[in-house]
Structure 1
Amino acid sequence: MSRHLPRSLSLTLCVLLAFPPAYAKTPVATGNGGAVATISDQASHAALSILNKGGNAIDAAVAAAATLGVTDPYSCGIGGGGFMVIYLAKEKRVITIDHREMAPAASSPTMFQENGKELDFDTAVASGAAVGVPGTVRGWHEALSRYGTMSFKQVLAPAIEVANKGFPVTENFRHMTAENEKKFQAFTSTSALYLKDGKALPVGTVIRNPGMARAYREISDKGQQAFYSGPMARAIVAAVNQPPVASGLRIRPGNMTLADLANYEARIRQPVRSTYRGYEVFGMPLPSSGGVTVAEALNILEAYDLKAMPRANAEHLYLEASRLAFADRNAYLADPEFVDAPVAGLLNKDYAVRRRAHISATRASGKAAPGDPYQFQNDPSAPQRPQPARMMAENMHTTHLALSDKEGNIVSYTFTIEAWGGSGIVVPGYGFLLNNEMTDFDFSGTNPNLPEPGKRPRSSMSPTIVFKAGKPVFTVGSPGGATIITTVLQTIVNHLDFGMPMDAAINAPRLSQRNDATTDVEPGFDGTVQSQALEKLGHKWTAKPEEIGAANAIVFNADGTVTAVSEGKRHGVGSALVQKPAQKTR
């Protein structure tokens, strides 16, 4: 074949023969029964297979997440943690599972300082010291044992098959690998799996991961304890404390113990509940800052009739509301087991009135100061004063999935290993990357979000479910570091205020203002009519536009159908599926 065809075409045909495209990948699907939206076709089909075998949304969410750990390993996996928001239809209640990574017991507020100076961020990331105690497997266990109907053996089977069979490298995957070549080159176990001669594997190369299949099989056989004790736990601790570095390199080691793993616990927490224009919005509580920050920004926006305004004026208000909410987020929010954050005050509608007074309808403001939510707390305890409000670097690379089932259960799930490729350390023999979540703490040692033993770093993950009159209307979430909050906020505004269908709301150009002098925008936005209209109101854009987020959503339509929605262009286009697709009409 290769004698008659160009080499690239020959390779493509070989890949297609090995991995025939049995399904047409689509970012939007409408129908009945269960629905799934992820960024990976293999993950979406894994979830659908579980739904078709009688599993519920929780079972299918774990199946999808495990498969994403294989096909999207630079964004998520069992070496990290996450936040799951679940709606239990029969009980008509929303619960959340916090399985965020946790600081090892040997952590200290100044662990990312040397000679009184903060470590270089990239140096801190690619190190054993960056690794927090992973929570994903414990979170999956809690979800399945409390709310699922299937075992680990059943829900991990699709992911094991993908890990053994392999998957072809896409252009998006190759790009992500190339961006991380230097980090991956530092670790022998990582370069052996994801590089060839120190370079990213070419498009079409099939990646098989027998180590990850082994990890999943051990969890299938022995449950969560296979991860938190025994051989796998020892391999994790060894990789953190003596990273498998390439010859001649020195990497900062961690200080994790088997007790750190054995003592890890997931938390079942009450969601953040707020209202917006007659809708109920349920989000993730601390240590995720997402639910509180989205709710505060929506409270600020609620007084404006955005749909009646020129688009630029409405988007200006969205940006300014986000700016104010981020000023408060940075000053007050952290792990609630360590910091008494004024959440009730931040969510108070009267506090939103006070914050709204700082917005000019005609001019972008500079960097905003945090407000004083304590007088709105209804709490007699002594208030904390706001701490220095700065934005720590927060990596953009996470993943989100949305699931629902025929019974009406819903899962909105964001999980991560933090940076693209996390710490860069693949656990030898087990094929999964370890997180760099410790770098989500503040390095200065003075902020509420400073590292301490057993503490969970503040997150921006914002899995969200929205209801009206007690019935679910839609769920949405995204990756993207601190831009997760603005992506979810902007998508809600696009959908509810501007009346955009959910696919249009997700595909619209994203603007992310996080209390900075400039606003992050995506490539191609600068110079557009939309951009110029906002510039007249004083907005400025970052010098290097980048793609923002990769959202997934499900809409629960008034006629009883469901519409799963994933990205139409970002991150290589997403995959949306429903159990019973609607018949197309001519």
Structure 2
Amino acid sequence: MTRRLSAVLIVFLLTTTAGAKTPVATGRGGAAATISERATQSAITILDQGGNAVDAAVAAAATLGVTDPFSCGIGGGGFMVVYLAKDRRVITIDHRETAPAATTPTLFIEDGKEMDFDTAIASGLSVGVPGTVRGWHEALQRYGTMSFEQVLAPAITVADEGFTVDTNFSSLVSQNERKFNRFPATAALYLRNGKAIPSGTRLRNPDLARTYRLLASGGVDAFYEGPLASAIVDTVNRPPTAPGVSVRGSRMTLADLANYEARLRLPVHSTYRGYDLYGMALPSSGGVTAFEALNILEGYDLKALPRAEVEHLYLEASRLAFADRDAYLADPEYVDAPVPGLLSKDYAAQRRGLIDADKAAPGVIAAGDPYPFQQDPSHPLRPAPRTLQPESAHTTHLTVSDKEGNVVAYTFTIEDWGGSGMVVPGYGFLLNNELTDFDFTAPHPNIPEAGKRPRSSMTPTIALKDGKPAFSIGSPGGSTIITTVLQTIVNYVDLGMPMDQAIDAPRLSQRNGAVTDVEPGFAGSAQAKALAGMGQRWSDQAAEIGAANALVFNTDGTVTAVSEGHRHGVGSALVQAPAH
């Protein structure tokens, strides 16, 4: 790859300034990019101690559980995509949360109607069996070189000593004061007199430090059995609420935790303009959906088109891929999804024929029929088009590489900002609300069922070129994760933007709706007006979309780590040996 990131020399000067937080860094050895400076530093610390990329990724993730607890932590789950340099192969670890055994398809139905989404979130009903700790265990045991005790040490230090709350952190708490005030353990940690802890506060979490020490000494069993498991079950089934507050409980059991298993799955694989792309398989819909859209776009000579036309085609390809996503994709242990058909280049050509290069589709469109494009000709359930199911947009993504050439792209989450809102008393971590990722009303492939993993949009992706790592990319953002990864790849590969510019560019998210979600300030821009001339329409609710992190492997042997340049309070990128 000949392209290098813009302003690398300037960025290098920033990275060498003590205490400076920079979103771009280039150098040799290992590299890491996360949304948190302390988490990125934890990864580099482990790499400097001789750990590999998997060890460093777990260390960074554990630290994010301290510094970014509203988007991730051991009370949730995720997907890890790993390139193993020695074996020259990609593996994936699915540690998505599962529905308790007592779950039925009417989990979120009350009096014959769908439960209010916010009510469902702040309840025990929404909590899936957490998978993060089991996922970390599998990653370290199979592909790491260090123990829990070693990789958790940096996060324990941060939790013990504390960190300074910034404006972004305080703002997130402020947005969730109502939810957090319902649960005394959460309020005690993140509120002061019922209000968000202000920016500049030193926040310590000794309970989480003790929990991490419990895992360091007792390993994975300390989470899924014993007192900690009992505390999780008690919290979920009988939520400890403030006086006068009542929220719905669940029917999770100790057996649900003891029986939880991570899954090693074959990655989703596709190609795009000379790159081999590897992503997460179902129950993540991210890889399949993003790769289907790229297959559609591959039929256009995007490099020869003006930017507005490229972005129009990107939006329409995303619209088509999302129509198929909603119709077919769910937990593969419960639904036989037509993934080979959806990823067929011939199927993409058929779908491409539906795009008007000059005019946007008028609204929600129907799913296609991928079955003729695979060996299985059966035609199972295919729901009619309907409004996109709400999906919380608050997750985190990190990426790490090491000097041996191993690469990790890791997205994990507790779902909504602050998950269910419930901190496990005495243990310092928030529980997820992941079960709200199920579709609430049948018939649908993604309805709640016992032991099922809700469909996810997480899209950790690793790209190879000529058999070697070229770049990694991923983001938080609920269903906008898919469009963030897709648009960043188009920006980088087709529009020729350096990766930092590809990430910082305004994001547009079309997910088979009448309007496209955009970020603040976009709707009145010249870029927006050009697209509006093709019939594209914008949502009235503008908000930041995603918080991506990426690595680029340069042809001279250096690696460039890239995080957000302006979103989410600016991200953090570091390398072991900065370029001079």
Q: Which TM-score band (shorter chain)?
A: over 0.9
Describe how 1:49-60 pairs up with structure 2 within 5 A. Answer: 49-60=45-56
Q: What is the root-mean-square deviation of aligned Cα atoms in Å?
A: 0.8
Alignment of 1:160 with 2:156, yes or no, is yes
The answer to whether the aligner puts 1:561 opposite 2:558 as a matched pair is yes
Counterpart residue number, 2:44: 48
Structure 1 residue aligned with 2:476: 479
- Check if 1:29 corresponds to 2:25: yes
Say yes or no: does 1:150 pair with 2:152.
no
Letter in 1 for 2:146: M
- The residue that corresponds to 1:530 in the other structure is 527
Specify the alignment match of 2:206 in structure 1.
210
DSSP 3-state at the match of 1:578 = strand
| Matching residue's letter, 2:564 | E
Matched, 1:422 2:419: yes
SS in 2 for 1:400: strand
Residue in structure 1 matching 2:506, options 509, 523, 526 = 509
The equivalent of 2:291 in structure 1 is 295
SS at match of 1:485: helix
1:80-128 CA distance string (max 9 Å, x none): 0000000000000000000000000010000100110000000000001
Residues 272-311 of structure 1 mapped to structure 2, 5 A cutoff:
272-311=268-307
1:187 aligns with 2:183: yes
Displacement of 1:254 after TM fit? Answer: 1.1
Is the 2:492–2:499 Cα contact (8 Å) retained in structure 1? yes
Q: Deviations over 1:520-546 (max 9, x none)?
A: 000010111000000000001000100
Q: Residue 80 of structure 1 is aligned with which of 72, 76, 81?
A: 76
Q: What is the correspondence of 1:92-131 to structure 2 with a 5 Å cutoff? A: 92-131=88-127
Shift, 1:396, TM fit: 0.6
SS in 2 for 1:424: coil
> Per the alignment, in what secondary structure is the counterpart of residue 130 of structure 2?
coil
Match of 2:12 in 1: none
State how far apart, in whole Å, the 2-side matches of 1:331 and 1:268 are.
25
| Residue among 244, 251, 264 paired with 1:248 | 244
* Kept in 2: contact 1:241–1:254 (CA 8 A): yes
Q: 2:226 — aligned with what?
A: 230
Partner of 1:452: 449
Distance 1:205 1:135 in 2: 31
One-letter amino acid of the counterpart of residue 431, structure 1: G
Partner residue of 1:3? none
Q: Distance in 1 between matches of 2:465 and 2:149?
A: 37
| 5+ residue gaps, structure 2 | 1-16
Instruction: Kindly provide the CA deviation profile for residues 498-517 of structure 1, in whole angstroms up to 9, marking residues without a partner as x.
Output: 00000000000000000000
Deviation of residue 389 (structure 1)? 3.5
Map Cα deviations across residues 301-347 of structure 1 (whole Å, 9 max, x no partner). Answer: 00101111111111000000000000000000000000000000000
> SS where residue 415 of structure 1 aligns?
strand
Q: Deviations over 1:544-573 (max 9, x none)?
A: 100000000000001100000000000000
CA displacement at 1:206 relative to structure 2 = 1.1
Residue 377, structure 1, aligned to residue 374, structure 2: yes
- Aligned residue in 1 for 2:404: 407
Find the aligned partners of 1:211 and 1:455 in 2 and give their Cα distance: 31
User: Partners in 2 of 1:272 and 1:383 — Cα distance?
Assistant: 22
Instruction: Give the aligned partner of residue 386 of structure 1.
Output: 382
- 2:11 — aligned with what? none
Match of 2:10 in 1: none
Is residue 327 of structure 2 the alignment partner of residue 331 of structure 1?
yes
For the Cα contact (< 8 Å) 1:241–1:256, is it kept in 2? yes
Following the alignment from structure 1 to structure 2, what is the Cα–Cα distance between the partners of residues 32 and 116?
Answer: 59
Q: Name the structure 2 match of 1:433.
A: 430
> What does residue 573 of structure 2 align with?
576
1:136: which partner in 2? Answer: 132
Name the counterpart of 2:193.
197
Offset of residue 156 of structure 1: 0.1
Is residue 152–residue 220 contact of structure 1 (8 Å, CA) maintained in 2? yes
Q: Deviations over 1:467-511 (max 9, x none)?
A: 111011000000000000000000000000000000000000000
Distance 1:526 1:501 in 2: 24
d(CA) in 1 for partners of 2:448, 2:539: 30
Q: Supply the distance in 1 between the matched residues of 2:570 and 2:274 (Cα, whole angstroms).
A: 33
CA distance in 2, matches of 1:445, 1:145: 39
| Whole-angstrom distance in 1 between the partners of 2:493 and 2:462 | 13
1:418-454 per-position Cα deviation (integer Å, ceiling 9, x unaligned):
0000000000000000000010001113211000000
Deviation at 1:383, TM superposition (A): 2.1
- Whether 2:381 is the aligned partner of 1:395: answer no
Deviation, 1:582, is 0.2
1:34 match: secondary structure: strand
Whether the aligned pair in 1 keeps the contact of 2:24 and 2:573 (CA below 8 Å) is yes
C-alpha distance in 2 between matches for 1:212 and 1:452: 31
Range that drifts further, 23-32 or 145-154 = 23-32
Amino acid at match of 1:363: K
Match of 2:546 among 549, 556, 575: 549
Contact 1:554–1:565 (8 Å) recurs in 2: yes
The more displaced of 303-312 and 427-436 is 303-312
Name which of 495, 498, 505 aligns with 2:495.
498
Q: State the SS of the aligned residue for 1:364.
A: coil
Instruction: Quote the Cα distance in structure 1 between the aligned partners of 2:100 and 2:89.
Output: 33
Secondary structure in 1 matching 2:405? coil
Using structure 2 for the length normalisation, give the TM-score: 0.96
Letter in 2 for 1:284: M
**How do residues 307-326 of structure 1 correspond to structure 2 at under 5 angstroms?**
307-326=303-322
Unaligned runs of 5+ in 1: 1-20
The one-letter amino acid paired with 2:30 is G
Cα distance between partner residues in 2 of 1:186 and 1:253? 14
Q: Given the alignment of the two structures, is residue 66 of structure 1 paired with residue 62 of structure 2, yes or no?
A: yes
CA contact (8 A) 2:395 2:415 kept: yes
Residue 401 of structure 1 aligns to a residue whose secondary structure is strand
Shift of 1:22: 4.5
* Cα separation, 2, equivalents of 1:460 and 1:263: 25
Residue 387 of structure 1 and its aligned partner are, at CA, apart by 1.6
Following superposition, which runs of at least 4 residues in structure 1 exceed 4 angstroms of deviation?
none
Code of the residue aligned with 1:537 in structure 2: it is M
Tell me how far 1:377 sits from its aligned partner. 1.3
Is the contact between residue 388 and residue 447 of structure 1 (CA under 8 Å) also seen in structure 2? Answer: no
Q: d(CA) in 2 for partners of 1:187 and 1:549?
A: 28
